[in-house]
Amino acid sequence: MKKRTVFMSAFAALALFTPAALFANGGAQSSASKQVTLTAPGTLPVTRDSGAALDVFMVQYADQSGDLLTNTALNEFQKAVNVKLNLTIAEEGSARERLNLLLNSGQYPEVIVFNSVSATDLIRYGTTEKIFIPLNTLIDEQGTNIKAYFAKYPWVKESITSPDGNIYGIPAVNSGAKQANHGMIGYKLWYNTAWLQKLGLSKPTTTEEFRTMLRAFKTRDPNGNGKADEIPLTGAYGTWAADPYLFLLNAFGYFDESLRMLRNDTFTPTANQDYIRDGLAYIKSLFDEGLLDPASLTQTLQQMTAVGNNPGDNIMGAATCGHLGMAIDIANVERAKVYTTLEPLRGPNGYRGIPANSDEVRPTSGMFMITDKCKNPALALRFADAYCTADWAIRGQVGMKGKQWTDADPGSFGPDGKTPAKIKYLTVVNATTATSNDMLGWAFRLLEEDWKSQIQLVGDITNPVNYEGRLLQETVKLLPYAADVQTIPPLAYSETASARRSQINTALSDYVKNSFAEFITGKRNLTSGWDAYKQELERLGYSEYVKIDQDAYNAYRRK
């Protein structure tokens, strides 16, 4: 599932490292300086020499149980390749800041494994500062699996090649094939079909029909307990796709959290459009009627989940979030099974759409980088290449065979009913709890096949072991409504442009979110305050922000 990084102070970042990260000379524990003899490319182990080691920066993500030092997938992989990792472990919340401190101080390890290294970072630390070394020759000589992947999906190689022609980071790829996955559409609204049926209502398709449904949820006691305890619509702040306005504004015109859209190769700002004002007025009217949970503008993911998991009677009519497990314990099958996604609503101006991301540009810019301190770059590349297989991707992402999963039944298919299934879940870790210590997930996910389309469905789709399949089916249902805009590719910026863009983006995002909440709650007047809102956007550099992206996109097209 998708995650957000919470940034902390430099002092806190230093304090949150595990003992494994405390090493001599302010840098990583020194690996053996001797050159090792490698086996033939594409074979395991990658070396038969004893004592082969790499100093590696890795991230401990918040939803992982256990820790990387005891993670069974990572330890199995080290044994398979015969390379020991001396780990520098950063907690998720401080990882970005800590990595920047290491790189800027010169006290960094041989290898960086982190899924938030941007194209701009690769240019800065690769092209300009020469900290990340070019991988082109190493891939040609040692990257058997990586080369095969690039040959199969050339768009991945193209998207992660820097303007100077070098590859400085091996990416993570969410889905190798250009197939649907639930992350393609994040702005989902899940509604209670049992309540709708009980009240004799039809599924809403317009904003006014949606209002009618919420009114019925609020006033007609759909949970049947004789109490006015129903919450028609809720959401959460500061977590993936859970702000209610993200879904609802898209009934009036295109909007996503990037605050711009790309159409006909031209970037256009979205947060200052008049249709956004109209959408906010509609959402405010829901708020004023008590149909939108006031807490949804401020509450955490955990607080929203508490609403969905209310003990006793179900009180949640609908919730906005990227996947249902954010709002409800999917192990509570009787409750979770009544929710499904609502297709995008048609607004009064006739617009009906939803932002969608194409897998064609889904790779991260960098996930595995080799630094100039690496004593055995070929060994490091072979280590990465060995993980770039479907088998290891499944081992890290799904868990241990025989424990979390097994081979699919003969003749079975994946969620699309067409792709032959390869794996079958035996257990599932609820999306609202920590992942197993048998899984690595984003902690070390490199190139992989589209394994989600190969997961066998077992019985009813609402069975928790079918959760990935259920999310896929829900997403496929929404794809026909994907907005008519271009997917924005990974863009690279100069160091100056990147710093300025980051400065503007932080101020803009905070201002837009706060303003939206104030307009919805009535703290600010949408009629008299809209022009002042737009003027402040310009003062914060909105036009400059869009131009920086346009310039970067123009350079991307010239590559």
Could you list the beta-strand ranges (E) of 255-404.
Answer: 260-263, 266-269, 318-320, 339-341, 366-370
Residue 161 shares a structural domain with residue 19: yes
Beta-bridge partners for 401: 405
Burial environment of residue 220 by CB neighbours within 10 A (0 to 12, 13 to 18, 19 or more): middle
Answer whether residue 252 is part of any domain: no
Position of tokens 């032959």? Answer: 420
What is the number of alpha carbons within 13 Å of residue 299 lying toward its C-beta?
Answer: 22
pLDDT value of position 117: 86
Residue 34 shares a structural domain with residue 149: yes
pLDDT value of position 66: 78
Answer whether residue 500 is part of any domain: yes
Q: pLDDT tens digit string along 474-516?
A: 998 999 999 999 988 878 788 788 889 888 988 999 999 999 9
Of the listed ranges 77-86, 246-255, 307-316, 385-394, the one predicted with least confidence: 385-394
Answer whether residue 370 is part of any domain: yes
Name the residue range of residue 546's domain.
495-558
The count of domains in the chain is 2
Residue 44 shares a structural domain with residue 174: yes
Contact present, 384 and 170 (Cβ < 8 Å) = yes
Confidence class for position 182, pLDDT limits 50, 70, 90 = confident
Contact present, 432 and 47 (Cβ < 8 Å) = no
Question: Which alpha helices (H) appear in 414-488, and where do they start and end?
Answer: 467-478
Write out the two tokens for 62. Answer: 């918040």
Q: What average pLDDT does the segment 258-264 reach?
A: 97
pLDDT value of position 362: 56
Q: Which has more confidence, 414 or 55?
A: 55
Q: Of 370, 397, 424, which one is at a domain's C-terminal end?
A: 397
Q: Say what the pTM is.
A: 0.77
Contact present, 346 and 209 (Cβ < 8 Å) = no
Residue 393 shares a structural domain with residue 515: no
d(CA 356, CA 353): 9
Residue 175 shares a structural domain with residue 40: yes
d(CA 281, CA 249): 10
pLDDT value of position 418: 83
d(CA 555, CA 397): 35
Residue 392 shares a structural domain with residue 503: no
Q: What average pLDDT does the segment 343-364 reach?
A: 83
What is the number of alpha carbons within 13 Å of residue 497 lying toward its C-beta?
Answer: 19
Furthest-apart CA atoms within the chain: distance in Å: 76
The secondary structure of 22-62 as a DSSP string is: --GGGSPPPPP-S---B-STT-SSSB--TT-EEEEEEEE-T
pLDDT value of position 4: 28
Write out the two tokens for 112. Answer: 């960086």
d(CA 176, CA 452): 11
Residue 372 shares a structural domain with residue 501: no
Judging by DSSP bridges, how do beta strands 111-117 and 53-60 pair with one another? parallel
Q: Of 397, 423, 440, which one is at a domain's C-terminal end?
A: 397
Q: Of 397, 416, 447, which one is at a domain's C-terminal end?
A: 397
Beta-bridge partners for 370: 111
Answer whether residue 342 is part of any domain: no
- Of 330, 303, 321, nearest to 240 (Cα)? 321
Residue 129: what residue type? E
Q: What average pLDDT does the segment 393-401 reach?
A: 88
Q: pLDDT tens digit string along 111-128?
A: 999 988 887 788 889 988
Position of tokens 């301190």? Answer: 373
Residue 28 shares a structural domain with residue 156: yes
Answer whether residue 451 is part of any domain: no
Contact present, 178 and 374 (Cβ < 8 Å) = no
Answer whether residue 117 is part of any domain: yes
Q: Which of the residue ranges 216-230, 357-371, 466-480 has the most confident prediction, judged by mean pLDDT?
A: 216-230
Confidence class for position 47, pLDDT limits 50, 70, 90 = very high
pLDDT value of position 363: 62
Residue 266: what residue type? T
pLDDT value of position 34: 67
DSSP 66: S
Of the listed ranges 31-35, 65-69, 82-86, the one predicted with least confidence: 31-35
Q: What average pLDDT does the segment 447-473 reach?
A: 83
Answer whether residue 318 is part of any domain: no
Confidence class for position 211, pLDDT limits 50, 70, 90 = very high
Burial environment of residue 266 by CB neighbours within 10 A (0 to 12, 13 to 18, 19 or more): exposed
Name the CA dihedral angle for 461, 467, 473, 476, rounded to a multiple of 10 degrees.
Answer: 170
The mean pLDDT of the chain is: 87
Percent of the chain at pLDDT > 90 equals 64
pLDDT value of position 186: 93
Answer whether residue 347 is part of any domain: no
Q: What average pLDDT does the segment 289-315 reach?
A: 96
Write out the two tokens for 550. Answer: 């346009």
> Residue 472's Cα: distance from chain center in Å?
15
Write out the two tokens for 29. Answer: 């524990």
Query: 86-121 burial string, b = 16+ CB within 10 Å, else e?
Result: bbbbbbbbbbbbbbeebbeeeebbbbbbbbbbbbbb
d(CA 435, CA 397): 10
Contact present, 230 and 509 (Cβ < 8 Å) = no
The CATH number of whichever domain residue 46 belongs to comes to 3.40.190.10
